[in-house]
Amino acid sequence: MARDRDEFEALVRHSRLLGSDENLVLHGGGNTSIKRTETDHAGRRVRVMRVKGSGGDLRSIGPEGFPGVRLDDLLPLRSRKDMTDAEMVAYLARCLTDPDARRPSIETLLHGFLPDAAIMHSHADAILALTNNPSPERHIRAALGEGFVIVPYRRPGFLLSKMVAAAREAHPDAKGAVLLNHGLFTWATTVEEAYRAHIRAVRAAERYLAGRRRKARPSKSTGDAAAFAPLLRGLLATPKRVILRLDRSPEVLAFAASPDAAARCRIGPATPDHLLHTKRLPCFLPTPEDAAPAIRAWSRSYEGWVKRWNREGHAVEDLLPRVVIVRGLGMWTAGRDPKQAGVVGDIYRHTIGILDATRGLGGFRSLSPREQFRGEYWELELYKRTLLPKEKELARQVAVVTGAARGIGKSIADRFLAEGACAVLHDRDAARLEATAAELGKRHGADRVIAVAGDVTRESDVTRLFDAARLGFGGVDLVVANAGVAPAGAVDRLELSDWERALAVNATGSFLASREGMRVMREQGTGGGFVFVGSKNVPAPGKEFGAYSAAKAAQTQLARVLALEGAPHGIRVNVLHPDAVFEDSGLWSPELRAERARAQGIDPSAVPEAYRKRSLLGREVRPSDVAEAALFVASERSSRITGAWLPVDAGLKEAFPR
């Protein structure tokens, strides 16, 4: 009893250890199990296997990640001749000790048919290098000795489970099995022993490979990756936009520079588990100029391959590559969000490592095209996709927000992130920007937030801002021109420097962001949106706000021209005119509050209240109210609206658009 409990704890602990090493287990790969006695719902003692749930990640797995399967129900299956995947899944669902538990791993029967109490399975890079070459048996024996049974490739499922169990029975002393083009299983009576055997085998394989490794010549990035990214993102945006991740690591650049890179990109994946993420092949571009024709050719070839093997009529999501390797620039991977693009990137970076490692073993061998198809369109793997949450309103979009460290800008970024966008935040206040980015990253995912400190009035700073979006996410779909300053003073007392500063930040800053944003959006060719945060002072100017009102009017007029120029490209531009947003405001400096209080003959602390009472609705306007309006004009819900002004001021008769 106590031993069984300890073994379950050991399973969780060692599964996490296995999952924490990228060279062993990548994103949801690998699985582990134990067999023990448990007490069921009716108080009976039953033999149960705890096995990783489908789609779970060993790196962060907890006890709930291991559904219980009743072995007395599972074991009779071994006498069957064959079983389809669907039958297997339906059968396993009835073997669960808890009907609400997650679906057990697709390799459950393989674990179940083995008699051993503890089992660990990974798709370790070094093992795959030993198996994916022209003479796998020779290299496996030379690296690992005689202690492992070698099982020829067969797609995971019922028959593979029987094959491994039979191989184990034929070799009772074996410590584990090496499955060709698939990975490693180790078994033992305790989790710790199975884990140790696993690590020992992987380390032995690594040592063997290290002795045979041919060093790749190091290579550097030679081209302008930022300039190329939006073009690529546009080419990959059918039927839906993607987020791109760029990998410019020395290994990837060296691979891209190798003379046989194109040929090596045509071989195939390292293990069937990777196919769902990376698809069968990457697209290799010898130069960036080849992008459009090369991707078209890749799609045609992919379509032909699908037509040839898709005998069961599986739905095809898209015909585009997920991995694009460009000589001299690096590797881009595509996904619905940075996380997915990152998973694809991690997997292919490891595939490159395996490709390199097999150079000294006679070259890389992958699965047959038919098995590659069955891997990519394997219904049990496709099931993992159905576990993903539904996409949000701004999913797959990248928003650049200026003046994002606080107040309205921060609130808009927060709202867009909550709707699934990626955000590139810009502000002059570097310290506050960093704190905001950390806060929003914590709330929405650090991989979806980039912060770039800088001055919107400086051309080079704005270029740097948009380059960060190009490099970080592949491009830009939404630009929120929000950065603003409001120097107050009657015209006859206004300093020239205040006037110039108001124009520089409010108008020129919006111009520079618009110009860069427009360029990226046109390179992508997938439309886009601009949200200008103007001011109630445009339709209804106030005394002593000459510099601010004139600058905001220039910004608004720019937005209207941008709406004219953007429309033919599906780019919409709309202006919000907020009023009296005090919460967390950088615009409402203590000086401005004091100034307004003096003008109205009230105490500075009473200024927000005075503005609130002035509105028709008598309500305070918060940054989140402006953010809600920004979301509306940025979203598809306003797809027929461009060049519009939307007041967000709790109602002011004099500011009604007319």
Binding site for Zn ion (CB under 5 A): 183
Query: What's the min distance (Å) between Cβ of 131 and Zn ion?
Result: 12
Which residue, 28 or 183, has its beta carbon nearer to Zn ion? 183
Which residue, 112 or 183, is less far from Zn ion as judged by CB?
183
Give the CA angle between residues 312, 315, 320 to the nearest 5°. Answer: 120
Collect all residues with Cβ–Cβ distance below 8 Å to 3 and sequence separation of at least 6. none
Shortest distance in whole angstroms from residue 268 CB to Zn ion: 17
Q: Is the dihedral of CA 313, 318, 320, 323 positive or negative?
A: negative
How many Cβ atoms from other residues are within 10 Å of residue 385's Cβ?
A: 10
Q: Taking the complex as a whole, how short is the minimal distance between the CB of residue 107 and Zn ion, in angstroms?
A: 6
What DSSP assignment string belongs to 564-602? HHHGGGTEEEEEEEE----TT-SSS-HHHHHHHHHHHTS
Under 8 Å between Cβ of 194 and 186: yes
Min dist CB 156 to Zn ion, Å, is 6
Of 375 and 578, which has the nearer Cβ to Zn ion? 375
Q: Are 153 and 181 in contact (CB under 8 A)?
A: yes
Handedness of CA 494, 496, 497, 498 (dihedral sign): positive
**Between 183 and 454, CB nearer to Zn ion:** 183
Closer Cβ to Zn ion, 14 or 274, answer by number = 274
Residue type for position 498? D
* CA distance readout (Å), 261 to 118, 288, 485: 41, 15, 52
Contacts of 203 (CB under 8 A, 6+ apart): none
CA–CA separation, 432 vs 484, rounded Å?
16
CB of 57 to Zn ion, least distance (A): 14
Cβ 272 to Zn ion shortest distance, Å: 8
Bridge pairing between strands 398-402 and 330-335: unpaired
Query: CB of residue 185 vs Zn ion: minimum separation in angstroms?
Result: 8
Whichever of 385 and 543 has its CB closer to Zn ion, that residue is 385
How many angstroms separate the Cα of 209 from the Cα of each of 125, 134, 152, 212, 217? 11, 15, 21, 5, 18
Single-letter amino acid, residue 126: A
Which one, of 336, 318, 447, 317, lies nearest residue 395 by Cα?
Answer: 336
Q: Report, as residue numbers or ranges, the catalytic residues.
A: 548
Cβ-contact 457, 503 below 8 angstroms: no
Q: Which is nearer to Zn ion, 183 or 623 (by Cβ)?
A: 183
Q: Which is nearer to Zn ion, 183 or 546 (CB)?
A: 183
Two tokens, residue 38? 């448990």
Least Cβ distance, residue 166 to Zn ion (angstroms)? 18
Torsion of CA 190, 192, 193, 198, to 10 degrees: 130
382 token code pair: 């496709």
